[in-house]
């Protein structure tokens, strides 16, 4: 059971396939041969100890069987390790493995591993091929697709990076059975983000799946063949949507500000990145912060008369279906506003925010065009209301 989504970017070397299914990891070797268009050669598998213990052996033995010479590099687990220092260690590991320009790197793990490996692969010998095997829901529907790679630094999140498309993405939904529940919630937050900007049909499918299969028993549902098939299809639809947006604006052009600009994928991320920064990346999972970001962007849109209360209420309903988000207690609005200044969506001194005219109708608004008082009042009210609790 496997579904193929093809991402077609208008540069021949940048088109690749995203395979979605259950049990696909067992054939990682033949999949890698197809994605890299060759058998044999060196591969460095980068993962972290948590993921590698669960899926490393299966992945590597399949690659070995397919004729690849495999070396492993394990980075430490956690957002704080998505850093230049870790990237440098990865580069050292690539060099020690004797990786050449015709070899490849595999990212086995969540978005942290994927972003870091993609960035290291972009830098090593000015670019070697890399393959994504995402093992979190968030990485499956979002970070493994589209070629944004990078690391965090003292001055902000993801501010150092490169566009480097993978040569292929292999999604095995059965790996989600071991995912901690907060990570499942975080992944669904990004899925809701896609639904909101893509339009009602995708959001409705997400909501219906969550209604039919309550998130509290997510791991148990994965034992059910029908669920595995339904979640695979939903993941594939999310990937299809993202692929379409990326294909139209691969490098997130500064000038492109229409409703199909890649910037729309940042819906909910302005507040999310600021929340992560002011809590030193330790309090929220990235997706959880996006959950709050979506609600804040919707509230702000309503207060600017861009969208109506119905849309905001609908978003609260869907977000509540995916569990409780970590508390916003103690988060200071002034610090959050200061963190916005370093957001990478800041163009020529003004923050670019994605707001909402309705479902499937994102709109990019310069913060200059949002009255400062309205912005601050909305933020203070939002933080005080603590909507996720």
Smallest gap from Cβ 146 to ligand GLY, in A, equals: 4
Number of residues located near ligand GLY, criterion CB under 6 A = 6
CA gap 210, 239 in Å, rounded? 18
Residue 14 interacts, among ligand NAD, ligand GLY, none and using kind-specific CB cut-offs from 5 to 8 Å, with none
Residue with nearest beta carbon to ligand GLY:
265
Nearer to ligand NAD, 109 or 293 (CB): 109
Phi and psi at residue 52, in whole multiples of 5°? Answer: -65, -40
CA gap 122, 252 in Å, rounded? 18
Report 243-262 residues binding ligand GLY (CB under 6 A).
Answer: 262
Strand 156-163 relative to strand 148-153, pairing: antiparallel
333-350 residues labelled b (16+ CB within 10 A) or e (exposed): beebbebbebbbbeeeee
Residue 58 interacts, among ligand GLY, ligand NAD, none and using kind-specific CB cut-offs from 5 to 8 Å, with none
Residue 179 interacts, among ligand GLY, ligand NAD, none and using kind-specific CB cut-offs from 5 to 8 Å, with ligand NAD
How many helices (H) and strands (E) would you count in the chain?
A: 15, 12
CA gap 79, 219 in Å, rounded? 24
- What tokens appear for 260 in the block? 């199909």
Smallest gap from Cβ 387 to ligand GLY, in A, equals: 23
115 touches ligand GLY by CB under 6 A: no
CA gap 122, 126 in Å, rounded? 6
- E-strand ranges in the chain read 2-7, 16-21, 42-47, 69-74, 104-109, 129-134, 148-153, 156-163, 168-172, 346-347, 350-356, 362-366
Residue 388 interacts, among ligand GLY, ligand NAD, none and using kind-specific CB cut-offs from 5 to 8 Å, with none
Nearer to ligand NAD, 71 or 266 (CB): 266
Smallest gap from Cβ 54 to ligand NAD, in A, equals: 6
The DSSP element (H or E) to which 265 belongs, if any, is none
Query: Quick one: which of 147, 196, 160, 178 has its CA closest to 295?
Result: 196
Query: Quick one: which of 96, 94, 99, 100 has its CA closest to 117?
Result: 94
Nearer to ligand GLY, 148 or 157 (CB): 148
Residue 262 interacts, among ligand GLY, ligand NAD, none and using kind-specific CB cut-offs from 5 to 8 Å, with ligand GLY
Smallest gap from Cβ 293 to ligand GLY, in A, equals: 12
Residue 133 is given by DSSP the state E
Smallest gap from Cβ 116 to ligand GLY, in A, equals: 15
Smallest gap from Cβ 352 to ligand GLY, in A, equals: 13
Nearer to ligand GLY, 54 or 247 (CB): 247
Site string for ligand GLY, 29-58 (x = CB under 6 A): ------------------------------
Smallest gap from Cβ 363 to ligand NAD, in A, equals: 21
Nearer to ligand GLY, 199 or 248 (CB): 248
Report 263-282 residues binding ligand GLY (CB under 6 A).
Answer: 265-266
C-beta atoms surrounding 376 within 10 Å: 14
Nearer to ligand NAD, 189 or 311 (CB): 189
Residue 51 interacts, among ligand NAD, ligand GLY, none and using kind-specific CB cut-offs from 5 to 8 Å, with ligand NAD
Report 137-156 residues binding ligand GLY (CB under 6 A).
Answer: 142, 146, 148
Angle, CA 212 vertex, CA 327 and CA 187 arms, to 5°: 40
CA 323 to chain centre: 19
Return residues touching ligand NAD (CB under 6 A): 48, 50-51, 54, 77, 79, 82, 109-113, 115, 135-136, 138-139, 142-143, 146, 148, 158, 175, 178-179, 183, 186, 285-287
CA gap 3, 229 in Å, rounded? 10
Instruction: Give the residues lining the site for ligand GLY (CB under 6 A).
Output: 142, 146, 148, 262, 265-266
């Amino acid at each position: 059971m496997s579904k193929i989504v093809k991402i077609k970017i208008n540069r021949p070397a940048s088109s690749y396939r995203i395979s979605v299914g259950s049990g696909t990891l067992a054939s990682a070797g033949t999949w890698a041969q197809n994605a890299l268009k060759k058998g044999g050669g060196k591969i460095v598998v980068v993962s972290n100890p948590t993921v590698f213990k669960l899926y490393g052996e299966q992945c590597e033995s399949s690659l070995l069987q397919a004729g690849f010479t495999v070396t492993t590099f394990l980075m430490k687990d956690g957002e704080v390790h998505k850093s230049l220092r870790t990237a440098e260690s990865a580069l050292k590991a690539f060099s020690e493995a004797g990786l050449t320009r015709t070899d490849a790197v595999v990212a086995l793990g969540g978005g942290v591993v994927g972003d870091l490996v993609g960035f290291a692969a972009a830098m090593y010998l000015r670019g070697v091929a890399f393959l994504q095997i995402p093992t979190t829901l968030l990485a499956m529907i979002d970070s493994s697709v589209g070629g944004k790679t990078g690391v965090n630094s003292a001055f902000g999140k993801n501010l150092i990076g490169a566009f480097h498309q993978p040569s292929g993405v292999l999604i095995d939904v059965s790996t989600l059975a071991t995912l901690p529940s907060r990570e499942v919630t975080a992944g669904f937050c990004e899925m809701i983000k896609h639904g909101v900007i893509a339009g009602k049909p995708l959001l409705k499918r997400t909501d219906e799946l969550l209604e039919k299969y309550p998130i509290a028993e997510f791991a148990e549902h994965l034992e059910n063949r029908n669920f595995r098939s339904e979640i695979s299809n939903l993941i594939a639809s999310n990937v299809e949507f993202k692929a379409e947006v990326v294909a139209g604006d691969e490098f997130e052009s500064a000038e492109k500000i229409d409703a199909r600009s890649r910037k729309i994928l940042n819906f909910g991320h302005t507040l999310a990145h600021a929340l992560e920064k002011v809590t030193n990346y330790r309090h929220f999972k990235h997706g959880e912060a996006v959950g709050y970001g979506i609600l804040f962007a919707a509230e702000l849109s309503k207060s600017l008369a861009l969208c109506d209360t119905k849309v905001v209420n609908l978003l609260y309903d869907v977000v509540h279906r995916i569990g409780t988000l970590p508390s916003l207690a103690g988060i200071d609005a002034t610090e959050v506003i200061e963190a916005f200044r370093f957001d990478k969506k800041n163009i020529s001194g003004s923050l670019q925010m994605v707001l909402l005219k309705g479902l499937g109708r994102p709109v990019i608004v310069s913060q200059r065009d949002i009255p400062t008082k309205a912005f601050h009042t909305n933020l203070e009210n939002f933080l005080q209301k603590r909507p996720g609790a």
